[in-house]
Structure 1
Amino acid sequence: MKKGGCYAMTGPLKLHWDKVTAGERGSDLDEALRPIRKLNRGAIWRYGQAGDLPGEGDVIDRDGVLKIAEASRGKRAIIFTHKPPTPENIAIVRQVAETGLNINLSADSVEEADTLADLNLPVVVVLNSEYARKKNETLSEYRQREKQLAKTTPRGRKIAVCPATYTDVSCTECGVCADGERKGVIVGFPAHGTQKKRVDEIAGHAGKRENFRSG
């Protein structure tokens, strides 16, 4: 979404990123991982409020990811990547998964989610903003409306909308995105923020339950 739609390109997060770019804030990876190493065993933590794994462009830096995996050993990390699923990148993702660091492959559409899911790795996907709970909409009203929206991919894989997007459940309480084994369930994140219309264009239209899934 860096070329349009990324919520981190506006607001407070952009102000922070600008200071990091200017050298006023931030540190190297080793420094950033120090507090992670001190977390209690079983603790859940999130890598990157935005952005991606270490590495230039589309390439994952193996040494950098191995550092993250080592710091996170015994903990549960919530981590995503938009890096393309090249054989080299996927090999790294599989390698650290064996140590307990489960990296979610991030898809821009349900069609892409199906393709990534064929790799048998955890997958998340951007959903149309219609999947988001609207302002002043009660939880009951949201659940009723959500029933009319598709909850499977074109190839029949189940999509679970992130509960933190429509309830007060926190990532610490849920923790699903930290798990590698989800029985094929894809976690969906509805478009949000000031650029959600742009994200809707990328993610595609919200499908009705009866016509979203292909035969």
Structure 2
Amino acid sequence: MHFHTTQISRNVKTGPMPVMTSSRDTCPDSCPLKKGCYAMTGPLKLHWDKVTSGERGTPLEEALKPIRRLNRGALWRYGQAGDLPGQGDHIDHEGLRSIMKANKGKRAIVFTHKPPTPENLAIIREVAAGGLNINLSADTLDEADELADLNLPVVTVLHSDYGKRKDETLQEYRRRLNSLPRKTKSDRRIAVCPATYTNTSCTQCGACANGDRNGVIIGFPAHGTQKKRVDQITRHAEEPNCNGP
């Protein structure tokens, strides 16, 4: 496994924050997006290739040095590509504890597609108690409900219908969005990431770093070259019983 820290991201959606990338072997085999990940296209793919090969990557402890030096309260992103330390579906306990320790006093945005096995959940809960909140990533609204029942923060991909279209004004988009299901079958609110339809960045928002969101599930509409593939995965679960604001 290799890891790389970019001290100031140039990604407009994250904003100018530190971001870490982990090599492809950290991605779980169980992830349905493994062959259609957004990180497998464009400039990020080129960077991810070099981290995976070790051309830019380093061992985790070396990559964490810039994170340890961040000011108290600083916001940063782990895993702009790749997943938590550990091969495939497995989470490396000591590796994740190292990230937790480096994050002390700071705020990290972290997502994982690692499966919620008892072993993985125990590690995720342990580091959450130490201040490192990890979002469980769902691929459908039904799965988001199942993961939310574990009392951990959850995010999910959404059908591309939830995304703002190029020819829409913000007012038109919000009006159309209000016509789509805004709650899951278990009555949990779906909040579409504001960075997907406004000029807001992760640096300005930071909601995904919070461990307690009162059950709100943050959604990311399918976009880019993998939009059709993601839509195929999500479409069967986009008809919850409950709508709401």
Question: Do the structures match in fold with TM over 0.5?
Answer: yes
Q: Which residue among 75, 79, 82 is the counterpart of 1:51?
A: 82
- Amino acid of the structure 2 residue aligned with 1:177: C
The range that moved more, 159-168 or 198-207, is: 198-207
Q: Aligned equivalents of 2:128 and 2:53: distance in 1?
A: 34
Deviation (angstroms), 1:212: 2.5
Q: Which residue in the other structure is 1:19 paired with?
A: 50
Instruction: Give the Cα separation in 1 of the matches to 2:76 and 2:98.
Output: 15
1:90, distance to aligned residue in structure 2 (A): 0.3
Corresponding residue for 1:79?
Answer: 110
The answer on 1:97 being equivalent to 2:128 is yes
Length-normalised TM-score, structure 1:
0.94
The aligned counterpart of 1:213 is 241
2:184 pairs with 1:153: yes
Give the equivalent residue in structure 1 for 2:67: 36
Structure 2: which amino acid aligns with 1:114?
A: D
- Coordinate RMSD, CA, aligned: 1.6
8 Å contact 2:124–2:134 — kept in the other structure? Answer: yes
The corresponding residue for 2:138 is: 107
Moved beyond 6 Å, runs of 4+? none
2:130 aligned partner, one-letter code: T
1:70 is matched with which residue? 101
Long gaps (5+) in structure 2 = 1-31
CA distance in 2, matches of 1:133, 1:5: 21
Supply the distance in 1 between the matched residues of 2:71 and 2:143 (Cα, whole angstroms).
36
Among 40, 49, 73, the residue aligned to 1:9: 40
1:148 Cα deviation after fit: 0.5
Which residue number corresponds to residue 199 of structure 1? 230
Contact 2:48 2:81 in 1 (8 A): no
The answer on 1:133 being equivalent to 2:183 is: no
Percentage identity across paired residues of the two chains: 69
How many Å separate the matches in 2 of 1:33 and 1:20? 14
Report the 3-state secondary structure (helix = DSSP H, G, I; strand = E; otherwise coil) of the residue aligned with 2:220. Answer: strand
Match of 1:168 among 191, 199, 218: 199
Contact 1:128 1:205 in 2 (8 A): no
- Return the offset for 1:2: 4.2
SS in 2 for 1:187: strand
Q: What is the Cα deviation at residue 4 of structure 1?
A: 3.1
The code of the aligned residue for 1:13 comes to L
Counterpart position of 1:188: 219
Aligned residues: 212
Give the deviation of 1:94 after TM superposition.
0.4
